[in-house]
Amino acid sequence: MSNRPAQLNPEWSLGYQVRRCHRRFDRLLNAMLAKHDLKTGFWYYLRVLWIRDGVTQKYLSDMTNVTENTTVAIINNMMQHGLVERTRDK
């Protein structure tokens, strides 16, 4: 008798199921946002701003787990779409 564990079907793993669920959510989100001419990347920032308005770019970067350079580019793009305003903190 072998001490090796029986091979498990990868589709039964929690990680596989979570990833599969995320991919389906992402597809649905893309479809819903496209109806409003919004980019998927905007969603994560708008969600943070929905919860807490008037935050810094650094805060947005931290909350979305995205680099600050990328956050600046996305904010600039969102400004062009009229979704956000940027003001200098006094």
Contacts 24+ apart (CB under 8 A), 72-76: 74/41, 74/42, 74/45, 75/45
At 5, is the pLDDT very low, low, confident or very high (cuts 50, 70, 90)? Answer: low
pLDDT, tens digit (0-9, with 9 covering 90-100), for 72-86: 999 999 999 999 999
pLDDT of 89 above 90: no
- The whole-angstrom separation of Cα 10 and Cα 26 is 21
User: What is the pTM assigned to this prediction?
Assistant: 0.73
Average pLDDT, the chain: 91
- The whole-angstrom separation of Cα 5 and Cα 32 is 44
pLDDT, tens digit (0-9, with 9 covering 90-100), for 21-73: 999 999 999 999 999 989 989 999 999 999 999 999 999 999 999 999 999 99
